Chain A
């Protein structure tokens, strides 16, 4: 791969949009090319700066009211407050629609290199599992703030040992663990609390040992931070804001790299 080939693909790599094979190729080029490696570092730095600042705008209340008045009234029996979290029903309908984005006319190269939208479907399932967990009595199978109780509990229940890290000192309280099902597989969920908000950290085995840097997504109003490290895929899901979820992920990753 030449620098010219890599120029645009480096962005796709930083955005987590490359499939595993092409990500490896680009990474191999970067490892041997100081110029492209500096370029990747600069892109990541820029992305981080943008993710770290809150650049979104909030719709002003007056606009909400205007819109509410302009739209025809909803069926009275089922009135949902404006801007409420999406109902379970609308969420399920979202899943039924699937992720058939294939109608897009992608150019040849792009169609080959971009990761497929399995990722998106799985993220939707992760959000669904997060929602299920918030229903009464479903949050934890093992309740403990002690990582040495939660970690062994997973033994024998899963084909992976989810890392359980105590982040209480960092403001994220470990409250337990749970078995869940995503993509028709058993998956481990480690549960944390931040103030009144629950963070589910889902951990699953992945076929690729390649590291993938964190990516933030929003699905149905929930933030998801996903990353991949040492053969495990992680998805942290919560309704806390993206900054705090990012902080959670960074502290977790830092603790992981310190523990090895």
Chain B
């Protein structure tokens, strides 16, 4: 059944189905692109593409489907930035190479301050992981996808998801221990 993209009924169905995942999609975009302005653009592009292909969406789950589209958008963005190629799998993470992190300026209750600082320290550590590992870890531990959903979103076999996740955790643990040692 061919419908116009501007069909209000179709737009309503799309909004109902896809917009509840906006925070999830935005979170993944932030971790993939490590930059808030780029994440905004990528999320908007992701939703526009998703709307365009909404007729071909057959389920089962909306979240992995949106994530798969977002990944494509992000990879296109990486390709466009000629000077910033994807990191190779075995690139040594170098914190000094990371772009300055955006600081959340929103005011927070004092009680949450400490936890927030802890959270942003972990976020910085995750940001140092090479892309395939960072992506797998975020999809599992932050977006709460199952192995099969991660495989679907990332377009790789489940076995690859499992080995990347094991590697990602090992890398994160190493980064964590290194940071603990720096603490006074």
- Residues on A lying within 8 angstroms of B by beta carbon are 7-8, 11-12, 15, 17, 42-43, 46-47, 49-51, 53-60, 62-64, 66-67, 70-76, 78-80, 82-87, 89-90, 93-94, 97-101, 104-107, 109-111, 114, 117, 120, 216-218, 220-221
**Which of B2-10, B66-74, B76-84, B85-93 forms part of the interface with chain A?**
B2-10
Please, which residues of chain A bring their CB within 8 A of the CB of B123? Answer: 55
Task: Write the B8-40 contact mask toward A (1 if CB under 8 angstroms, else 0).
Answer: 110111111101101111110010000010011
- Indicate if B99 sits at the interface (CB-CB under 8 A): no
A51-B141, A67-B22 given; A42·B27 CB < 8 A: no
Please, which residues of chain A bring their CB within 8 A of the CB of B15? Answer: 71, 74, 80, 82
A57-B23, A59-B22, A59-B43 given; A98·B169 CB < 8 A: no
Contact B142 A56 (CB under 8 A): yes
Cα of A156 to Cα of B136 in the assembled complex, Å = 46
Query: How distant is B10 from chain A, measured CB to nearest CB, in Å?
Result: 8
Contact A59 B23 (CB under 8 A): yes
Q: Which of B13, B122, B146 contacts A55 (CB 8 A)?
A: B122
Cα of A94 to Cα of B119 in the assembled complex, Å = 32
A67-B44, A83-B19, A94-B62 given; A8·B163 CB < 8 A: yes
Please, which residues of chain A bring their CB within 8 A of the CB of B148? Answer: 101, 104, 106, 114, 117
Please, which residues of chain B bring their CB within 8 A of the CB of A74? Answer: 8, 11-12, 15
Please, which residues of chain B bring their CB within 8 A of the CB of A60? Answer: 36, 40
Q: Which of A63, A73, A107 contacts B44 (CB 8 A)?
A: A63
Query: How distant is B150 from chain A, measured CB to nearest CB, in Å?
Result: 10
Query: How distant is A220 from chain B, measured CB to nearest CB, in Å?
Result: 7
Cα of A95 to Cα of B158 in the assembled complex, Å = 24
Please, which residues of chain B bring their CB within 8 A of the CB of A46? Answer: 169, 172-173, 176
Query: How distant is A186 from chain B, measured CB to nearest CB, in Å?
Result: 27
- Indicate if B151 sits at the interface (CB-CB under 8 A): yes
- Interface residue total, chain B, C-beta cutoff 8 A: 62
Please, which residues of chain B bring their CB within 8 A of the CB of A120? Answer: 146
Query: How distant is A242 from chain B, measured CB to nearest CB, in Å?
Result: 8
Query: How distant is A78 from chain B, measured CB to nearest CB, in Å?
Result: 5
Which of chain B's residues 80-115 have a Cβ closer than 8 Å to chain A? 115
Please, which residues of chain B bring their CB within 8 A of the CB of A8? Answer: 162-163, 166
| B137 to chain A: closest residue by CB | A50
Contact A106 B23 (CB under 8 A): no
Please, which residues of chain A bring their CB within 8 A of the CB of B144? Answer: 216-218
Contact A97 B59 (CB under 8 A): yes
Query: How distant is A219 from chain B, measured CB to nearest CB, in Å?
Result: 9
Contact B27 A106 (CB under 8 A): no
Q: Which of B8, B158, B165 contacts A104 (CB 8 A)?
A: B158
Cα of A229 to Cα of B58 in the assembled complex, Å = 36
Contact A71 B51 (CB under 8 A): yes
Contact A220 B20 (CB under 8 A): yes
Q: Which of A54, A71, A78, A94 neighbours the largest number of chain B CB atoms within 10 Å of its CB? A: A71
| A78 to chain B: closest residue by CB | B12
Cα of A54 to Cα of B118 in the assembled complex, Å = 9
Please, which residues of chain B bring their CB within 8 A of the CB of A64? Answer: 22
Query: How distant is B146 from chain A, measured CB to nearest CB, in Å?
Result: 7
Query: How distant is A45 from chain B, measured CB to nearest CB, in Å?
Result: 9
Which of chain B's residues 120-155 have a Cβ closer than 8 Å to chain A? 122-123, 126, 140-142, 144, 146-149, 151-152
